[in-house]
Amino acid sequence: MSGHHLPLRHGLLALAVVAVWGTNFVVIKVALAALPPLLLAVLRFTFALLPAVLFLPRPAVPLRKLAAYGSLIGAGQFGLLYLAINGHIAPGLASLVIQIQVFFTIGLAMLADGEKLRPVQGVALALATAGIVLIAAYTGGESSDTSIGGLALVLLAAASWACGTQVSRSMGRVQMLPMVVWSSAFALPPLLVLSLVFEGPARWQAGFAAATWPVWAAVLWQAVGNTLFGYASWGWLLSRHPAATVAPMALLVPVFGMAASAWYLGEGLPAWKLGAAALVLSGLALNLFGVRRR
């Protein structure tokens, strides 16, 4: 299995997906310049749902599972992430912290299936946790672009993502793209209600009035680039190659996220932030490759 390599074209496709997913954190920031965060999430899932839902058959899974997945990923992961990036955490840092979902997923698998934590996973978790603690130690200072509340929101988003992953695992083999599109229908109701209650029609109006074409491009990018292209391509790659060959590419998501945020938004990359990134990424890599070697 370890001898399996991605052909060049497939490798470039995987690279394109992780580049889209990584730089998306900067794109979110562009959209949030005009739109309130929960409204942005509503728009993202509206465009992910329509018109694609008219062309894709409903996945053969129980509606309650689609509803659970949609709510956890829509309202949970992205609702919380957008709230965090809206002035509470630097986008590059958010792209790093959200990857902690891997360890939440392991924890849920231990609870659900009685899986045991392997020693190598324990070391990996310790490394990643040290990275998060380092970020927490540097939040809220005069020069910091990140608050402890922002960090907490992204960790909650990561936990929601892990719960969504657990739901999708319980569905068995299902095509990724139709699942993501159809579950968007269930992401919308909670997001709509929350946006109406906490943001209200006046903020909606102000947001639409302030939205320039780059803002709308950023919204469409969320739906078309990040969701439709991203999940369709990733699902296609996973259907043709062992997960162990495709999955390591995801380690590049925070690399693209932090680089794009530094380049486009001028997000600072002080030594502590690079150190935190090194700790979290080495934890993620150790978890991936250490477990795979067994």
Instruction: Note the pLDDT of residue 294.
Output: 54
Contact present, 288 and 247 (Cβ < 8 Å): yes
pLDDT tens per residue across span 171-226? 888 888 899 999 999 999 999 999 999 999 999 999 999 999 999 999 999 999 99
pLDDT bucket at 72, cuts 50 / 70 / 90 = very high
Instruction: Note the pLDDT of residue 253.
Output: 94
Contact present, 219 and 31 (Cβ < 8 Å): yes
Rounded to an integer, what distance in angstroms lies between the CA atom of residue 182 and that of residue 12?
28
Instruction: Note the pLDDT of residue 241.
Output: 85
pLDDT at 141 over 70: no
Rounded to an integer, what distance in angstroms lies between the CA atom of residue 283 and that of residue 286?
5
Mean pLDDT of 75-82: 95
Range from 45-54, 134-143, 205-214 carrying the lowest mean pLDDT: 134-143
Handedness of CA 36, 161, 235, 242 (dihedral sign): positive
pLDDT bucket at 5, cuts 50 / 70 / 90 = confident
Rounded to an integer, what distance in angstroms lies between the CA atom of residue 105 and that of residue 91?
23
Mean pLDDT of 234-249: 83
Please name the amino acid found at residue 7: P
Smallest Cα–Cα separation from 122: which of 254, 293, 286?
286
Please name the amino acid found at residue 48: A
Range from 10-24, 111-125, 250-264 carrying the lowest mean pLDDT: 111-125
Q: Is-cis flag, bond preceding 57, omega within 30? A: no
pLDDT tens per residue across span 103-137? 998 888 888 878 788 889 899 999 999 999 999 99
Smallest Cα–Cα separation from 164: which of 142, 186, 147, 144?
186
SS (H, E, C) the chain: CCCCCCCHHHHHHHHHHHHHHHHHHHHHHHHHCCCCHHHHHHHHHHHHHCCHHHCCCCCCCCHHHHHHHHHHHHHHHHHHHHHHHCCCCCHHHHHHHHHHHHHHHHHHHHHHHCCCCCHHHHHHHHHHHHHHHHHHHCCCCCCCCCCHHHHHHHHHHHHHHHHHHHHHHHCCCCCHHHHHHHHHHHHHHHHHHHHHHHCHHHHHHHHHHHCCHHHHHHHHHHHHHHHHHHHHHHHHHHHHCCHHHHHHHHHHHHHHHHHHHHHHCCCCCCHHHHHHHHHHHHHHHHHHHHHHHC
pTM of the model: 0.91
Range from 26-30, 44-48, 230-234, 289-293 carrying the lowest mean pLDDT: 289-293
pLDDT at 74 over 80: yes
**How many residues comprise the chain?**
294
pLDDT at 2 over 70: no
Q: And the tokens for 126?
A: 């310790």
Mean pLDDT of 18-32: 95
Instruction: Note the pLDDT of residue 143.
Output: 59
- Residue of higher predicted confidence among 293 and 164: 164
Mean pLDDT of 41-68: 94
Instruction: Note the pLDDT of residue 291.
Output: 64
- Residue of higher predicted confidence among 91 and 291: 91
Mean pLDDT of 40-67: 94
Smallest Cα–Cα separation from 93: which of 175, 22, 36, 39?
22
**Mean pLDDT, the chain, whole residue set:** 91
Instruction: Note the pLDDT of residue 146.
Output: 87
Instruction: Note the pLDDT of residue 1.
Output: 41
Rounded to an integer, what distance in angstroms lies between the CA atom of residue 47 and that of residue 103?
30
Inter-axis angle of helices 37-49 and 200-210, to 10 degrees?
70
